[in-house]
Amino acid sequence: MEPPEAGETCTRAQPGGDRPLAGRGLAPGKKNARRLGAHIVFVDESGFLLIPPTKRTWAPRGKTPVLLHRLRHDRLSAISGVSVSPVRGHLSLYFKLYPHNISQQEVLSFLRHLIRHIPGHIIILWDRWATHRGKLVREYAGRHPRLHLEYLPAYAPDLNPDEGVWSQLKSSLANGRPDDIRDLEGHLLACLADLRSSQPKLRACVHRSQLPLF
């Protein structure tokens, strides 16, 4: 569900790269990024159903719009990351889609994807979901000295620019009616590609999060 990737780098990790950020100011993450010349990648997961989300729309007075769809509970899971380059603040978007729930294996696959495509040190900022703190993930980070895991403050999803990615995708799906999983996948990939190619749209995700970091 993504373009072919280059070879993977495997090395050992730097101690102390896995710790929670202090306060909503995210100061440690900012300092580490400057010190290491690191890319910061905000990572999050979401799910998308064949049952479409709805939103307000126009209709003739007295005629309530009706959206017909098949009652199917098929779904796609997604993981993505909004990255910020260390010098110019250039934004990029990385993503993967899966036809099942996301576990540590899928998170590891995404981390490998980031390591292949992003040079230098990488600081991952994500929530404290148990999967993010799992043994396999921690061991993988322990083998890669340029991968650093940091945590967003508890109960602060609004600080993650990746939430803006999901918001834009779900808005694009609203009042739609994908025929099947393949149709849903095609729509998501097209929207993600459009978002990835637009600095203004990615910047809107960052501004929406009201991060003091940028």
Predicted confidence at residue 111, as pLDDT, reads: 98
- The pTM of this model reads 0.77
What is the number of domains present in the chain? 1
* Structure token digits, residue 168: 């834009």
Q: Give domain status of residue 44, yes or no.
A: yes
pLDDT in tens, 87-129: 888 999 999 999 999 999 999 999 999 999 999 999 999 999 9
Q: Give domain status of residue 98, yes or no.
A: yes
pLDDT in tens, 119-165: 999 999 999 999 999 999 999 999 999 999 999 888 777 789 999 99
Closest alpha carbon to 19 in 28, 9, 11, 31: 28
CATH number at residue 145: 3.30.420.10
Q: Give domain status of residue 25, yes or no.
A: no
Range of the domain at 186: 31-53+66-209
User: Which residues, listed in sequence order, are joined to residue 122 by a DSSP beta bridge?
Assistant: 39, 147
Rounded to 5°, angle at Cα 71 from 66 and 74: 130
Q: Give domain status of residue 20, yes or no.
A: no
